[in-house]
Amino acid sequence: MVAIEVAGRRPRSIREPYRPERRTLETVVHEWELTLDLDEVETGVAQLRLHLSELLEDEEQAADAEAVVPPKAWAGLMGTCRR
C-alpha cells in the first residue's frame, strides 16, 4: 500500500511545475500596475527616440548647409575680390 502512495505522489510532483499558477487578486492588481508602468516607460522611450531623430535631422541639415556655405574666413576674402 505504501508503494502505491509513493508511486501516486511522483507523477503529482512532476506535474506541479507545469500547472497554471494560481494568482491572488493582489498579484493580478500588482501585475496590472507594473504593466501600466511599463507602458509609461515605453511611451517615454518612443518620445525620446522621436526627439533624437529630429535632432539628428537638424544636425544633418546644419552640416549640409555648412558644406555649401564657405567658412567665414573665405567669405571675408570673397568680399574683397571684386572685378
Which pLDDT tens digit goes with each residue over 1-32? 556 566 556 666 666 666 567 778 888 899 89
Among 32, 51, 65, CA closest to 43: 51
SS3 (DSSP) at 20: coil
Instruction: Quote the pLDDT of residue 21.
Output: 72
Instruction: Quote the pLDDT of residue 63.
Output: 84
Instruction: Quote the pLDDT of residue 57.
Output: 94
Q: How confident is the model at residue 77 (pLDDT cuts 50, 70, 90)?
A: low
Count CA atoms closer than 13 A to 39's CA, side-chain side.
Answer: 6
Count CA atoms closer than 13 A to 16's CA, side-chain side.
Answer: 7
Query: Is residue 70 a contact partner of residue 78, using CB atoms and an 8 Å limit?
Result: yes
DSSP code for 19: S
Instruction: Quote the pLDDT of residue 46.
Output: 94
Instruction: Quote the pLDDT of residue 82.
Output: 53
